[in-house]
């Protein structure tokens, strides 16, 4: 797999919650942090996502904002 995204984080699917149109996918990283993503239900089904399966969180952004109180 080759991607232009620079942030590719390998983890394990912790949970998948399917809705009518979208699915919420939680990926747990090796250090215990979690990444949560909302993807289409059809994509989640096509990827056969389920708890315990290895997966990658791919983050592609041209901008990251930082804020403080």
pTM (predicted TM-score)? 0.85
pLDDT digits (tens, 9 = 90+) for 25-64: 999 999 999 999 999 999 999 999 999 999 999 988 777 7
The end-to-end CA distance of the chain, in Å, is 40
User: What are the chain's domains?
Assistant: 7-59 (2.40.50.100)
Would you say 30 and 51 are in contact if contact means Cβ atoms under 8 Å apart? no
Which strands form 22-28's sheet, in the order they lie side by side? 34-40, 22-28, 7-18, 54-59
pLDDT digits (tens, 9 = 90+) for 5-33: 888 999 999 999 999 999 999 999 999 99
Would you say 31 and 40 are in contact if contact means Cβ atoms under 8 Å apart? no
């Amino acid at each position: 797999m080759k991607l232009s995204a620079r942030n590719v984080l390998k983890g394990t699917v912790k949970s998948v919650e399917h809705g009518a149109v979208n699915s919420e996918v939680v990926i747990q990283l090796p250090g215990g942090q979690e990444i949560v993503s909302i993807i289409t239900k059809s994509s989640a089904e096509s990827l056969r996502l389920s708890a315990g399966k290895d997966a990658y969180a791919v983050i592609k952004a041209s901008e990251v904002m930082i804020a403080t109180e």
